[in-house]
A and B are shown apart, each in its own frame.
Chain A
Amino acid sequence: METEDDLCQQTNWGSSSSKLQEQGSSDGGGNQAFSGFTSEQKWEEASILDYEMDGVEPDLQVFDEMKASGEENVQANVDFLQGVRAQAWDPSTMLSNLSFMEQKIHELQELVHLLVGRGEQVQGCQDELAAQQQQQLITTDLTSIIIQLISTAGSLLPSVKHNMSTAPGPYTGQPGSAMFPCAREANNVASQSQNNNNCGAQEFDLPKAVVVDERESHVVEEHEMKDEDDAEEGENLPPGSYEILQLEKEEILAPHTHFCTICGKGFKRDANLRMHMRGHGDEYKTAAALAKPNKESIPGSEPMLIKRYSCPFLGCKRNKEHRKFQPLKTILCVKNHYKRTHCDKSFTCSRCHTKKFSVIADLKTHEKHCGKNKWLCSCGTTFSRKDKLFGHIALFQGHTPAIPIEETKPSASSSTQRENSEGGNNNQGMVGFNLGSPSNANQETAQFGMMDGNISFEDSFSPMNFETCSFGGFHDFPRLMFDDSDSSFQTLIANTCGFSSPRNVGESVLDTSI
């Protein structure tokens, strides 16, 4: 049951992490630091809007503190800014901005007129305080107009966009963050600390499936600049753009990963489990129960992080600790990788009894072709294709194609014969012959004939003698099949036609042409 839980966590990972997020936000409440973390979690959407919101919030506070009056203006101002930042360059926006500014200037003008008029009417009364307040009011409005001017100008030039954040505000006594806070930095710091916390917390909560958020501040910054979604499935998935899961060894090797909560039967696939569950009651037969749990749990709006897997074997390239870590794509990849690389090869091919496999599918694939590797090289390597064998032979010096004996020799006699001759007794046949001196070879053949007994009259019938004598030691060569008919024909010929003496024939043996 333990494994089942683990897998549930696994499969519902997206939702659990989002849950975590919600938890965090509820815990942190207005916590500035955590809001930063949240924004970062959602970074995948490139949600500048959120980010700005969070970042500008402190500004408002500052404004509140500093100036109670003209609050509306400032608020509008901020809204305006958001619009500028969010929409970047747009001529219609620009036009509305300009008219808005014009309106503001008119308002300010009226206010100043009013003040001038009031000052003339009420001279000398509440002079000090009132004058100060008026001055402040006007200054604030002026400032806001100037800011609008600057930001509008900034939106004209996209390159100025970011520099703008560091543009000195009117409140020079305070850092620029008062007006345009460097929210990013703050966020980064916050996210780092949050990350640490997060990891720790998760390690306690989820001992088997661990979220590793490797992102570091500079990485994030860099990524931020790119400002695009990294959803593409390339091999060069940038670190941090995906979530790394690591299953434990026991889990990888478990034969079943889905267990029925009622009867305990295990299944390899969740879908099979769901099918099985139908037998336990009608409540499991509903469409909701049969549907894929992932789909219903995740609302369409909530995007999932890409998931990649790490091998639990330390030092493996597929392990997340490895310097050149290459993640595995699916759980099946993890299983096959772990079995192939870090487990014993327990399945042996039943045909060749030499090839071993740790993944049964590999064995089956091999068995399909095993024994069909009929193309054999002298070095012992077999090939399934002839062209591969010839490529191999062309490549290596001294390797030759090996011709299997059963294929080449239909008649057993010749194959044994070849084996004999190859088996080292090459001279067997020649022994008798080499004994005598070459000059009396004739005598020798006669002797062989005598030995055989079959044709003791060999001398007188030598012209008719087609391989009739077996020459003693030469039994390893195939005899002709017409031995039986031989002698009768010889006598026939001897009777019918007077043949020249063997001597004559011997002399005419040589063909006259050279």
Chain B
Amino acid sequence: MKKVKQIHVFKPNFDLLSEELVFIILDLISPNPSDLKSFSLTCKCFYHLESKHRTSLKPLRSDYLPRILTRYRHTADLDLTLCPRVSDYALSVLASLSGPTLRSLDLSRSRSFSAAGLLRLALKCPHLLAIDLSNATDMRDADAAVVAEATSLESLKLGRCKMLTDMAIGCIAVGCKKLTSVCLKWCVGVGDLGVGLLAVKCLHIRTLDLSYLPITGKCLHDILKLQHLEELLLEGCFGVDDDSLKSLRHDCKSLKKLNASSCQNLTQRGLTTLLSGAGCLQRLDIAHCSSVISLDFTSSLKKVSTLQSIRLDGCSVTSDGLKAIGTLCNSLKEVSLSKCVTVTDEGLSSLVMKLKDLRKLDITCCRKLSGVSITQIANSCPLLVSLKMESCSLVSREAFWLIGQKCRLLEELDLTDNEIDDEGLKSISSCLSLSSLKLGICLNITDKGLSYVGMCCPNLRELDLYRSVGITDIGISSIAQGCIHLETINVSYCQDITDKSLVSLSKCSLLQIFESRGCPNITSKGLAAIAVRCKRLAKLDLKKCPSINDSGLLALAHFSQNLKQINVSDTAVTDVGMLSLANIGCLQNIAVVNSRGLSASGVAAALLGCGGLRKAKLHASLRTVLPVSLILHLEARGCTFLWKDNTLQAGGVGS
């Protein structure tokens, strides 16, 4: 009561603002978590308001759940992916504190809970709508069957729960009648019976992921009777073959997305049966299909002329087939032909000619394509938003001039390993809304070309300059100047990059991922500049930057509290720098191989200090030096080790 009085003392200034209005303000500042933090630290009133406002949480440690949940009493969405260990105790605390408000819970990265915790959760959270129990590889039927008690559940993910069998799925199917979305990917113990029962009992299912399940076409008879089914994923279901689909007669008008990729035993006959009733299908994925996409094959697409997206990755495609697809499904908006090595200029041209509406095109590694195709694409598809054409090495540099002129709406462009030059970049810089540009291994580009991009593309979020060796500090600084929204940049193996680049990049305060592997001229000074200015930095790759030492890491430890992943292999880092990393609360992933200044005890201390560590990549010699009990302890805490031995490049053995 005393607190409340104090709040009133400080409140007068905000008397006029109702709670709802403050919440709207908070909604607006919530994209930046640090702003929210400052807000809540302003005064007790604001602290109180902020804790009332927040409904979604992603805590770093399950140990603090009681305190966090006590503060945030309106938690509806709880993401525990950063907590490797969530004990039954934590779950019961969670259930009793947030039970009435909790709607979704993500336990996909957590372990060491059992049926008892889940049962408490199921019983105490009457409004729980979504739960993600993926990756619980040791979860057995009895544990999963407890989920059936959560009768309000609508979304359930059980990916990679390999111990589960039909029995658990049967229990869940009977208990959770309201399920609309179920993911059973990689549940290799679940077969036709469990899935069939799910289809019989849960009539509201909209999304069903059955990828890599040992099912046959038998259960599809029941599944395709579901009235609301919209999305069906059958990736890698080797048991689904033509014979088991022979008798299938369905009329699933609701189906919008079908993924039958990597179904090796499904050929044109079976696919025709599958598609025969799905008249409203919009997205079809038949990547890595075993049969040739020829003229014959495309006859199975007759029934799905409203198709908007098709993926044919890794298929052998004939020109006739592509032409037929263009004629049959001319409302296509997305086409993916990634790694279709047989695609020719003739085929692709005849396809894109018909697709005036095309928004996304992926022709990664279609190595036979030349400038003819690119010209045709540029001329036919003015609405193109995304073009991925990595390793189309035959495309001449002139072809890129046309892309910039014709496809002004491009947002995503992958030109990795292409012949593009500065003129091409100049042309492309006229795509004003470009947000992702990948120029890896483009050996023809220089600072001049990059400066066009820097000047004209203010919305650029992602820039990849991996091994584009023509780039120096000048190019980077022009980018840093023009693209203030930059979030990701990769300057790996651009050997001319120095601290100047880093200092200029530190202006991009939204930077999250910085990769500068193999840049010998980068020092701790530059790193410190980035650490100080780029508060959101989450991923840092400093491997093979020999000039990076402890002082850079100390700066990181002090300023970059959001760092999650760091690679300091082959640097001059010592125990001191490593220990300082323990100060970064959310650090999950450390790679330290071949840093000579490190001692075993220093590594041990650092590993122990990083409470949220999930992955540690260390030199194999440390495996014998570190105490076994320490390794066991860390593994129990949820950390996996990757022991790297440089003498064997093949690499590490996970433990």
Contacts and interface: CB of A to CB of B under 8 A. Distances in A.
Q: Do A and B belong to a common assembly? A: yes
A438 B632 CA distance: 35
Contacts of B536: 512
Contacts of A462: 63
A422 B115 CA distance: 10
Given A414-B115, A471-B89, A400 B175 contact: yes
A400 B171 contact: yes
Contacts of A496: 579, 605
Contacts of B60: 508-511
A489 interface: yes
Contact of A511 (B31, B59, B114): B59
Given A508-B60, A509-B68, A418 B579 contact: no
Contact of A433 (B93, B123, B193, B562): B93
Nearest to B32: A512
Given A401-B171, A481-B636, A474 B609 contact: no
A217 B171 CA distance: 66
Contacts of B123: 426
A263 to B, nearest CB: 60
Contacts of A471: 89
A117 interface: no
Contact of B197 (A394, A414, A467): A394
B563 to A, nearest CB: 11
Q: Main SS of chain B's interface residues?
A: helix
B409 interface: no
Contacts of A512: 33-34, 37, 536, 561-562, 586
Interface stretch (A57-65, A194-202, A219-227, A402-410): A402-410
B70 A390 contact: no
A466 interface: yes
A462 to B, nearest CB: 8
Given A438-B70, A485-B629, A512-B562, A403 B142 contact: yes
Nearest to B81: A511
Contacts of B115: 414, 417-418, 421
Give the residue among A400, A401, A439 with the most B Cβ atoms within 10 A.
A401
B142 A418 contact: yes
Given A400-B175, A510-B57, A429 B89 contact: yes
B527 to A, nearest CB: 21
Interface string B603-646: 01100110100000000000000000110110011000000000
Given A390-B166, A400-B148, A509 B59 contact: yes
B97 interface: yes
A441 interface: yes
Interface size class of A (residues with CB under 8 A): 35 or more
Nearest to A471: B89
A401 B170 contact: yes
A142 B63 CA distance: 130
Contacts of A430: 92, 96
Contact of A463 (B30, B114, B170, B611): B611
B539 to A, nearest CB: 13
For A390, A429, A434, which residue has the most chain B Cβ atoms within 10 angstroms? Answer: A390
A400 B174 contact: yes
Contacts of A236: none
A434 B97 CA distance: 9
Contact of B87 (A464, A467, A497): A467
Q: Which of B56, B146, B148, B171 has the most CB of A within 10 A?
A: B171
Contacts of B167: 401, 403
19 contacts: A386-B166, A386-B193, A390-B196, A403-B168, A408-B140, A417-B115, A421-B120, A433-B96, A438-B70, A445-B67, A464-B608, A474-B89, A478-B88, A482-B636, A489-B608, A509-B61, A509-B64, A510-B58, A511-B82
| 5 A-B pairs with the lowest CB-CB distances in the bound complex, closest first | A408-B142, A512-B33, A401-B170, A438-B70, A400-B174
Given A407-B141, A409-B140, 13 more contacts: A390-B193, A390-B197, A393-B197, A394-B196, A394-B201, A408-B142, A434-B96, A477-B92, A478-B114, A485-B630, A493-B608, A497-B605, A509-B64
Interface of A: 386-387, 390, 393-394, 398-401, 403, 405, 407-409, 414-415, 417-418, 420-422, 426, 429-430, 433-434, 438-439, 441-442, 444-445, 462-467, 471, 474, 476-478, 480-482, 484-486, 489, 492-493, 496-497, 499-500, 505-506, 508-514
